[in-house]
Amino acid sequence: MRTIFVLACLFFSNFVHALGREVSYEEIISQHQNQIIWVATCGAWKSANQAGFYRIVHASIGDQSYIYIQWMKPNSEGDNEVQHMLSVPQINNDHASISLESLNCKVTKAGIKILARSESGHHTKMGVVEIIIFQEFGKYLFKERFQ
């Protein structure tokens, strides 16, 4: 009986894990490039010996949004390259069921603030998503409020 229970747990754990799979930027670029609906630069970042600007990439596949924040920096050839990228896990998983609209970005003292109207497929409610991105690579704060 114990063996059947353990096998059942292993079997169903695969389904649970699949529900929360984070969708990578590489997957968006390679498989869903035409679903990128908004790319914007906003604000500047600075660390001890580096400086650059933020770039925001928003893709939408069906009713699900995906958002990636990149810390960009010009290289010696004058091209821009990604120094660091943040995938927002609260949104970028295939079970989040969050659709973002009317994205905008504001420069703050700490970095940038991304605001968007949101609709959650889980709550069937409208809301607001706020993502505060700090100067330090990968540091952010995520807030979601439903109306």
DSSP labels for 22-85?
A: BPPHHHHHHH-GGGEEEEEEEEEEE-SS-EEEEEEEEEEETTEEEEEEEEEEE-TTS-EEEEEE
Residues 6+ apart with CB under 8 A from 79: none
Apex 47 CA angle, 42 and 51, nearest 5 = 50
Instruction: Give pLDDT, residue 62.
Output: 85
Q: Tens digit of pLDDT for each residue in 98-128?
A: 889 999 999 999 999 999 999 876 667 789 9
Residue 79 has pLDDT above 60, yes or no: yes
Looking at residue 51, its amino acid is: A
Instruction: Give pLDDT, residue 15.
Output: 40
Q: Is the pTM of this model over 0.75?
A: yes
The encoded tokens of residue 99 equal 């659709």
Name which of 90, 70, 73 is nearest 131 in CA terms: 90
